[in-house]
Chain A
């Protein structure tokens, strides 16, 4: 049984009376422990696919099974619970809470989980150590560099020990060195057993994954080894 199994997923938006199809029948299986890169040009539907796979949005047609369970009938609260338990999100713009310390930012997902509050600090400091920011615990986001902020976001994504880590253009706002450090971290997480789904428009970056899919106009046009990604 695949970890993620989608069949014919479609996503249609309605704007000003006109319909826009962001996804057109996406069928995809992702196994546990995979490092998958989703690539494609801007506006191809990569982010929409991540939102659906990450249960942030519901497809307008097609089926999505997570660990063999249909997700279409889940309530909003159940979806929130699944996101909290199973997924970790890393966004291009970090999305850290301003005027809130690194430690508090990383603890945030634990607040919405069933984890006992007395363990929050130790869990958070552990993952902050993993991303190499133990010396920055009490710092606030505006006191950190871009690379450090993204590492805080990675620590936040890790704190609930999720099954899948979704990274949406995680190096988009970083310089080359910081971007490389973030990719090193994602690779390490993959080696430690996490399933990593990386969304990027950068072919070179995608090649560091094991498998890649190319999306164009809302449909998968290529699926294979990341090192063999064709031009798109």
Chain B
């Protein structure tokens, strides 16, 4: 049996002998593998970023909303104007016997009120929430002061956190901390000013955040919330707690038929699973499109290998005359094609990794987000396997043709 080392070495030296041709032949493979690496790398970065930000709320977070899970425009309107999530519901859910795993919760109140300071007026997004939940979810940092705490929430304190745009609109270049802003005729002391820029995917620049208690009692004046976030300590508790919440809500609202629920529950896990699926499908689709370039590259390899077999007919004849069997010739040409495409794959993987890294840097800078680059190891292995496979598949026919040549006819070839 002919030695593997010899076969690889002969394949290598015959490829080296035609460097320019070999280089041009593998261009298609290089481009294909580079593109796949780039897509997977950017897709992976996007997925990591989105999951990080969605997951910022915590995988143990459950969101309870009034109305029905919107499936169309009518549902959406119903959900937006639904007031079925009452204060007493939240109070009931906060009790241990209803949701045993509950660790903390934060209802949300959305308001549309102008905010003023002195003669200056601005129209930010006013929101009643928990400052701690906001910080956890958005990873926001403070330029001045800090978040208000649980005590302020419990005591319906008139305190607020403001974003950078709201600060500029109201205070210009002056510091804003501990100053009082006015909303709906009531004064709120500023405990913190958020750092400018996006916090994750959330734009917090134009935000004014109040304790949800204060917002509801003094500003909305209603006995309902737009949503409530509940944390259950461990992602493993989510499923059980969702059932607890649903059961408690149905009891509170006297609902016997789940189809008539006037509330719906969303979990971070669900959202994460959805996003992961969408991004995976997108990445797979783009990779499939790029795979076409690999097929085109493969056809190029086949074409060049067929030319090479014809050119080297006398060499094939000589090898057979001195003892090469058909399968030795087959292996030799197969190795040549595979080595060629594998080399193309290797270049593609390297270029793809490099471009992916540069793309991550550019995206991080231009989108002002924390875009992390992770080396796509799986794509690398798949890229190398696929490029080797392209060599085997598209080098197969030329290699078979070479192996079928009769020594006499091959030696006679001019």
Of B5, B13, B315, B324, the residue contacting A80 (CB under 8 A) is B324
Of A91, A99, A112, A156, the residue contacting B17 (CB under 8 A) is A99
Instruction: Judge whether A111 and B2 touch: CB under 8 Å.
Output: yes
Instruction: Judge whether B321 and A112 touch: CB under 8 Å.
Output: no
How far does the alpha carbon of A91 sit from the alpha carbon of B314 in the complex, in Å?
12
* In the complex, chain B residues whose CB is within 8 Å of the CB of A91: 318, 411
B189 in contact (CB, < 8 A): no
Question: Which single residue of chain B is at the shortest CB-CB distance from A85?
Answer: B323
Give chain B interface residues in 309-345, CB to chain A under 8 Å.
314-315, 317-328
Minimum CB–CB distance for B189 against chain A, Å: 85
Instruction: Judge whether B323 and A80 touch: CB under 8 Å.
Output: yes
Instruction: Judge whether A95 and B323 touch: CB under 8 Å.
Output: no
Question: Which single residue of chain B is at the shortest CB-CB distance from A91?
Answer: B411
Of A80, A95, A104, A109, the residue contacting B325 (CB under 8 A) is A80
Minimum CB–CB distance for A98 against chain B, Å: 8
In the complex, the number of residue pairs spanning A and B with C-beta atoms less than 8 Å apart equals 63
B3 in contact (CB, < 8 A): yes
* Size category of the binding interface on chain B: 20 to 34
Of A57, A81, A100, the residue contacting B323 (CB under 8 A) is A81
B395 in contact (CB, < 8 A): no
Given contacts A56-B408, A95-B411, A100-B13, contact A83 B322 (CB under 8 A): yes
How far does the alpha carbon of A76 sit from the alpha carbon of B6 in the complex, in Å?
22
Give chain B interface residues in 285-325, CB to chain A under 8 Å.
314-315, 317-325
Instruction: Judge whether B5 and A109 touch: CB under 8 Å.
Output: no
Minimum CB–CB distance for B371 against chain A, Å: 48
* In the complex, chain B residues whose CB is within 8 Å of the CB of A76: 325-326
Of B5, B315, B325, the residue contacting A77 (CB under 8 A) is B325
Give chain B interface residues in 7-27, CB to chain A under 8 Å.
10, 13, 17
* Size category of the binding interface on chain A: 20 to 34
Instruction: Judge whether A109 and B322 touch: CB under 8 Å.
Output: yes
Minimum CB–CB distance for A122 against chain B, Å: 16
B124 in contact (CB, < 8 A): no
* In the complex, chain A residues whose CB is within 8 Å of the CB of B411: 56, 91, 95
A51 in contact (CB, < 8 A): yes
How far does the alpha carbon of A80 sit from the alpha carbon of B10 in the complex, in Å?
19
* In the complex, chain B residues whose CB is within 8 Å of the CB of A77: 325-327
Give chain A interface residues in 89-107, CB to chain B under 8 Å.
89, 91, 95, 97-100, 104
Give chain B interface residues in 394-410, CB to chain A under 8 Å.
406-408
18 further A-B pairs in the complex, CB-CB below 8 A; given A54-B321, A95-B314: A56-B408, A76-B325, A81-B325, A83-B321, A84-B322, A84-B323, A85-B323, A95-B317, A95-B411, A99-B17, A100-B13, A109-B322, A111-B2, A112-B323, A112-B324, A112-B325, A113-B323, A117-B5
Can you pick out 26 interface pairs between chain A and chain B where the beta carbons lie within 8 Å of each other?
A51-B408, A56-B321, A56-B408, A57-B406, A57-B407, A76-B325, A77-B325, A77-B326, A80-B323, A81-B323, A81-B325, A83-B322, A84-B322, A85-B323, A91-B411, A95-B314, A95-B317, A97-B315, A98-B17, A108-B322, A111-B2, A111-B6, A112-B328, A117-B3, A117-B6, A160-B323
